[in-house]
Structure 1
Amino acid sequence: MLPTISIPQHWDYPRFALEQRTNQGIILGLQYYPIGTELAEQFGNSWRYAVMPNKNSDELFHFQENQIQPLSPQELFSQIRAEIEFYQSQIAILQQQLAAITGGSTNG
């Protein structure tokens, strides 16, 4: 069973999803500031997102929903394709190392 997140009906629905890639980075968390709270008065009642600029970063930035820009379909395709190619090259290297240990071919 997949985990479920319930959002109160009087809250706006978030525009972005967890792990979504954006121009600012990858969304790792989200937080809502509801009307009538001190944080909403300070930042506005909306969603705020915790974003890591890239998967090798140790930094985390927080953005309001209107500060997040989604990637275009072409940008998203390019990022995912580059990641696939990186991992395919890593797999090829590991297969070569395994073949050297076992003395045979490990293609398959």
Structure 2
Amino acid sequence: MNQTHHKSYAKVVENGVQAVGAVNELRNTGYRYEDVFVLAHDQDRTERIADTVDAKEIGIKEEGVFDSLANLFRSRGDELRAKITSLGFTDTEADFYEKELDQGINLSTSA
């Protein structure tokens, strides 16, 4: 899936088991490894889930160098919103998903 031709998609899940299912579902419908990302409010949790489901974390390639460096100085909420918008979501959508992540819910995304 090419980011410039497809609308970003997100699915909010409650736990790592559901994240595995959501990622497998995306892969079964044709999304490639490089198009599937996971995100949790806690960075360690994001890493664990990404490793478990063999998905990507949102990084420099998606955010760009400036935003990646700026994230070092942002609150976690601001960092999450920046990561979410880097995948093509609007500011309003990023606010919604960041609030969901505040409640400890994982987000599986692809662009």
TM-score (normalizing by structure 1): 0.21
Greater per-residue helix proportion: 2
Larger Rg: 1
Q: Which has the higher contact order (CA 8 A, sep 6+)?
A: 2
